[in-house]
């Protein structure tokens, strides 16, 4: 099960790696950067720096703001820094404001508003001007919209980022958010970030996402598949995740195969007979409820595996909690194929989360 694999993949971490950039919003309404302590110990970040990089022509493009002395983050706590924003008379707990005066920033460079189209942010474990330009003190980094920002090379040297990589631009009224449980498990660091159309400041970025496998895959004798057709999700079903979809592996892709993806509102009730043709000794039966089918897709099979994208972008928060049960049937339509039915995948229970 993909979700269980991700949640069970936590590695031993240093305290420095426990304090991470968690979410960034930058539009005309709100501009803030969220910091999260995913560790088990309180961390004093009162000597740390929040760094932001821009691409605005004619400006420094590098700005440093020091966390106030004594600032701490308890285990599982969040802190939101309102960048280039003036503090209200009584800031709400968990909220800090950089202000707009150049005297509130380090090294006399002042600041500028962030752009949601492209920018970068970093956490640096020092406020010393000779140390903030050393990868030794770099603790986290994110680039969005493009790459190649000043000081990005420090994050690359520290092993926190990769050259040429960046997250999506920040959607208007949305954010870029991070799944902390995928840190260190993705192929590239930016893949733990996703465009979030329903920001969750001072709260976890992921709530309620489920990918649960059940049922048993099967094939017919004499099939042309590479093995049992296994159904899985390409990533977590998170609102705003443009990379979500389904994939069936072991499709040969050279014998005129098609894959029918079937989505139902529930699992099959116990004892309900299969609607598929039953062949002697086969024993295959749908794991999803074929009486509650809400959607079917048929696509040509691809070599080795067949994917159907289902991007969860541009949906409202009402989609959260939606539950679907999916299963895939592989068939051959070449003349003379007998039987045309090649195999049936396992089923997946998927719940859209935040």
225, 231, 232, 237: CA torsion to nearest 10: 140
Residues 192, 216, single domain; the answer is no
Does any domain span residue 316? yes
214: in domain: yes
By C-alpha distance, which of 266, 253, 259, 261 is closest to 341?
259
- 230 and 121 in a single domain? The answer is no
Give the C-alpha separation, 224 to 250, whole Å.
10
Whether the CA torsion 115, 116, 119, 120 is positive or negative: it is positive
Which CATH number does the domain housing residue 312 bear? 2.60.40
pLDDT greater at residue 240 or residue 98: 98
- Alpha carbon of residue 180 to chain centroid: 9
Claim to verify: residue 236 and residue 192 sit in the same structural domain: no
State the Cα–Cα distance between residues 187 and 185, nearest whole angstrom. Answer: 7
Q: What is the pLDDT of residue 241?
A: 80
Give the domain-ending residue among 140, 172, 196.
196
Identify the H or E element spanning 246.
strand 245-251
Both 21 and 154 in a single domain? yes
Total domains in the chain come to 2
Q: What pLDDT does residue 11 have?
A: 33
> Domain check: are 169 and 22 in the same one?
yes
Question: Does residue 333 lie in a domain region?
Answer: yes
DSSP assignment of 48-73, as one string?
-EEEEE---TTS--EEEEEPPTT-EE
Asked if omega into 170 is within 30° of 0 (cis), the reply is no
Report d(CA 347, CA 216) in Å as an integer: 7
pLDDT tens digits, one per residue of 200-219: 899 998 878 888 999 999 88
For residues 143 and 190, state if they share a domain.
Answer: yes
Please tell me whether residues 38 and 177 are part of one structural domain: yes
| Radius of gyration of the chain, Cα coordinates, nearest whole angstrom | 24
pLDDT of 56 higher than 80 = yes
- The chain-wide mean pLDDT, for the chain, equals 88
CB 96 within 8 A of CB 81: yes
The enclosing domain of 148 has a CATH number of: 2.60.40.1260
Same domain (yes/no): 25, 168: yes
Query: Does residue 204 form part of some domain?
Result: no
Query: Backbone phi, then psi, for 116, in 5-degree steps?
Result: -75, -20
Last residue of a domain, one of 196, 226, 259: 196
Where is 211: in which H helix or E strand? strand 210-214
230 with 286, same domain: the answer is yes
Same domain, 49 and 191: yes
Residue 28 resides in a domain: yes
179 with 286, same domain: the answer is no
Q: What pLDDT is recorded for position 20? A: 97
Q: pLDDT (tens digit, 9 = 90+) per residue, 17-35?
A: 799 999 999 999 999 999 9
Distance CA 273, CA 269 (A): 9
| Same-domain check for residues 223 and 185 | no
Distance CA 86, CA 81 (A): 11
Which domain range does residue 287 map to?
210-351
User: What's the CA gap between 242 and 195, in Å, rounded?
Assistant: 8
The answer, yes or no, to whether residue 151 has pLDDT greater than 90, is yes
**Tens digits of residue pLDDT in 215-245:** 999 888 878 888 999 999 988 888 878 888 9
Distance CA(36)–CA(225), nearest Å, equals 46
282 belongs to a structural domain: yes
Q: Choose the final residue of a domain: 164, 196, 228.
A: 196
Mean pLDDT comparison of 6-15, 24-33, 178-187, highest-scoring range: 24-33
Residue 97 reports pLDDT greater than 80: yes
Quick one: average pLDDT of 188-193? 91
Q: Tokens 């001072």 belong to which residue?
A: 202
Instruction: Look at residue 91 and give its three-state secondary structure.
Output: coil
């Amino acid at each position: 099960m993909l979700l269980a694999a991700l949640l069970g993949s936590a590695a031993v971490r240093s305290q420095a790696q426990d304090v991470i950039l968690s979410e960034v919003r930058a539009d005309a309404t709100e501009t803030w950067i969220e910091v999260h302590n995913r560790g088990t110990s309180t961390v004093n970040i009162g000597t740390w720096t929040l760094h932001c990089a821009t691409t605005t022509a004619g400006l420094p493009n590098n700005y440093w703001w020091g966390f106030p002395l004594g600032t701490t983050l308890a285990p599982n706590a969040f802190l939101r820094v309102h960048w280039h924003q003036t503090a209200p008379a009584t800031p709400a707990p968990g909220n800090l404001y950089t202000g707009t005066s150049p005297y509130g920033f380090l090294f006399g460079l002042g600041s500028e508003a962030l752009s949601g189209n492209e920018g970068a942010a970093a956490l640096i474990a020092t406020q010393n001007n000779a140390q903030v330009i050393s990868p030794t003190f770099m603790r986290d980094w994110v680039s969005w919209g493009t790459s190649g920002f000043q000081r990005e090379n420090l994050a690359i040297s520290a092993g926190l980022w990769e050259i040429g990589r960046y997250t999506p631009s920040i959607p208007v009224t949305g954010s870029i958010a991070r799944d902390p449980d995928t840190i260190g498990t993705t192929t590239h660091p930016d893949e733990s970030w996703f465009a979030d159309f329903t920001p969750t400041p001072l709260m976890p970025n992921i709530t309620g996402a489920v990918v649960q496998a059940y049922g048993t895959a099967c094939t017919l004798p004499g099939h042309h598949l590479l093995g049992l057709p296994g159904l899985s999700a390409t990533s977590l079903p998170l609102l705003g995740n443009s990379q979500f979809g389904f994939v069936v592996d072991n499709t040969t892709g050279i014998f005129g195969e098609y894959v029918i993806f079937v989505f139902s509102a529930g699992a099959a009730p116990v004892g309900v007979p299969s609607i598929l043709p039953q062949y002697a000794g086969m024993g295959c039966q749908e794991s999803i409820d074929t009486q509650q089918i809400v959607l079917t897709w048929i696509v040509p099979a691809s070599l080795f595996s067949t994917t159907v994208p289902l991007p969860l972008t541009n949906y409202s928060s009402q989609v959260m909690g939606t539950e679907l049960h999916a299963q895939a049937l592989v068939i051959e339509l070449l003349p003379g194929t007998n039987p045309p039915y090649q195999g049936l995948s396992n089923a997946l229970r998927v719940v859209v989360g935040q």
